[in-house]
């Protein structure tokens, strides 16, 4: 239960991915909130504090790129991790330019997902003290 107390917002439109991510994250002790598009994710972020956001890139209403651009324009520094089925270098660079902190590909690799969330949550000041470590090199393993 390596993510006990970590508040994670998941913005993902596919119900099967929502279910899978919720089970994995809750199993690791995270407090999980699910939303299905970028616009609703921005609303949730304006109402509650989260330690980490997992955001799909391709969603209806507002995609992940626009959502993270809006979030950064509002001055938010919450760590946002892109989730995508596209593993191309160009996609990774586009994510970084848009304001994402990291990038994970689907299908989800559970251990990598949990370690990435833990690393970013530890660097986020609102995270429980037992998770704090030295600030990560955010793109080191990509």
Q: Residue 90's CB: how many other CB atoms inside 10 A?
A: 8
Interacting residues of 35 by C-beta distance below 8 A, sequence separation 6+: 9, 10, 11, 41, 43, 44
Could you tell me the mean pLDDT of each successive run of 10 residues in the chain, 142 residues long?
93 95 96 96 94 95 95 94 85 90 92 94 60 42 44
**Would you state the pLDDT for residue 126?**
53
Task: Note the helical H segments in 1-142.
Answer: 15-27, 38-47, 64-73, 89-98, 110-123
The alpha-carbon radius of gyration of the chain (Å, integer) is 14
Task: Give whole-number Cα distances, 101 to 14, 16, 19, 112, in Å.
Answer: 22, 24, 24, 15
Nearest CA-CA partner of 106 in 130, 81, 139, 125? 81
- Whole-angstrom Cα distance, residue 127 to residue 11? 20
**Would you state the pLDDT for residue 125?**
52
- Residues linked to residue 104 through DSSP beta bridges, in sequence order: 83
Q: What is the pTM of this model?
A: 0.86
């Amino acid at each position: 239960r390596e993510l006990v107390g970590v508040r994670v917002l998941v913005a993902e439109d596919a119900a099967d991915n929502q279910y899978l991510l919720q089970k994995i994250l809750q199993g690791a002790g995270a407090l999980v909130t699910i939303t299905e598009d970028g616009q609703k994710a921005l609303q949730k972020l304006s109402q509650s504090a989260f330690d980490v956001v997992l955001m799909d890139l391709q969603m209806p209403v507002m995609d992940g790129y626009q959502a993270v651009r809006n979030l950064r324009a509002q001055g938010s520094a919450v760590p946002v991790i892109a989730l995508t089925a596209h593993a191309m270098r160009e996609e990774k660079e586009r994510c970084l330019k848009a304001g994402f902190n990291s990038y994970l590909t689907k299908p989800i690799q559970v251990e990598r997902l949990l370690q990435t969330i833990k690393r970013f949550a530890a660097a986020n000041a609102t995270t429980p003290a037992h998770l704090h470590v030295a600030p990560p090199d955010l793109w080191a393993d990509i």
